[in-house]
A and B are shown apart, each in its own frame.
Chain A
Amino acid sequence: MRSSTGAPEGSTTLRGTGVSPGIAIGTALVLEGPNVAIFRLGVPDDETEGEVLRFQRAVRRAWRQLRHLRDRVRSEAGEPYARVFEAQILILKDRALLQETAALIRRERVNAEWAFHTVVGRYTQVFSQLGDQALRDRGTDIEDVGARVQALLTGSKRRHDLSELTEDVIVVGAQLSPSDAAGLNREHVIGLAIDGGGPTSHTAIIASALGIPAVAGLRDASSRMQSGDLLVLDGTDGVVLQNPSEEETVVWRERRAQRAQREVDLMALRDLPAVTREGLRVRLLANIELPEEMLAARRFGAEGVGLYRSEFLYLREAPGLPGEEEHYRTYRELAEKALPNEVVIRTLDLGGEKYSSTILERHESNPVLGLRGIRLCLKHEDLFRAQLRGIFRAAAHGKVRVMFPMVSGMGEYLKARSIVDEVRRDLLGQRIPCDPDVPVGVMIEVPAAALIADRLAEKVDFFSIGTNDLIQYALAIDRGNESVSYLYQPLHPAILRLLRGVVDAAARRGLRLSVCGEMAARPAAAVILIGLGITELSMNPAAIPSVKQTIRALGLNEARGLVEEAMRLDSAEAIEELVRRRIQDLVPKDPRPVLEVRP
Chain B
Amino acid sequence: MIRREAVISNALGLHARAAARFVQLASRFKSRIQIANGGRTADGKSILGLLALIGNEGTRLTISADGSDEQEALRQLVDLVEARFGEEG
Stretch at the interface among A82-90, A298-306, A574-582: A82-90
Inter-chain contact B20/A87, CB cutoff 8 Å: yes
* Contact residues of A between 349 and 368, Cβ < 8 Å to B: none
Q: How far is the CA of A510 from the CA of B49 in the complex (A)?
A: 61
Chain A residues with CB under 8 A of B23: 90
Chain B residues with CB under 8 A of A138: 15-16, 51, 54
Cβ of A319 < 8 Å from any Cβ of B?
yes
Chain B residues with CB under 8 A of A141: 16
Inter-chain contact A80/B19, CB cutoff 8 Å: no
| A contact residues, total (Cβ < 8 Å) | 35
Cβ of A142 < 8 Å from any Cβ of B?
yes
Q: How far is the CA of A130 from the CA of B89 in the complex (A)?
A: 25
> Contacts A83-B17, A319-B57: A123 and B48 contacting too (C-beta < 8 A)?
yes
Q: How far is the CA of A138 from the CA of B16 in the complex (A)?
A: 6
Q: How far is the CA of A130 from the CA of B52 in the complex (A)?
A: 11
Partner of A87, one of B19, B52, B54, B56: B19
| B contact residues, total (Cβ < 8 Å) | 27
Q: Which residue of A lies closest to B83 (CB)?
A: A325
Inter-chain contact B88/A123, CB cutoff 8 Å: no
Cβ of A260 < 8 Å from any Cβ of B?
no
A-B contact count (CB 8 A): 77
Cβ of B81 < 8 Å from any Cβ of A?
no
* Contact residues of B between 44 and 59, Cβ < 8 Å to A: 45-49, 51-52, 54, 56-58
Chain B residues with CB under 8 A of A96: 43, 46, 48-49
Inter-chain contact A80/B16, CB cutoff 8 Å: no
Q: How far is the CA of A87 from the CA of B22 in the complex (A)?
A: 10
Cβ of A94 < 8 Å from any Cβ of B?
yes
Inter-chain contact B48/A84, CB cutoff 8 Å: no
Q: How far is the CA of A83 from the CA of B54 in the complex (A)?
A: 19
Inter-chain contact B47/A318, CB cutoff 8 Å: no
Q: How far is the CA of A135 from the CA of B54 in the complex (A)?
A: 8
How would residues 15 to 31 of chain B score, 1 for a CB under 8 Å from any chain A CB and 0 otherwise? 11101100110000000
Give B contacts to A, CB under 8 Å.
9, 11-13, 15-17, 19-20, 23-24, 43, 45-49, 51-52, 54, 56-58, 84, 87-89
Q: Which 4 A-B pairs have the closest CB atoms?
A: A87-B16, A87-B20, A333-B89, A90-B47
Give A contacts to B, CB under 8 Å.
80, 83-84, 86-88, 90-91, 94-97, 123, 126-127, 130, 134-135, 137-139, 141-142, 291, 318-320, 322-323, 325-326, 329-330, 332-333
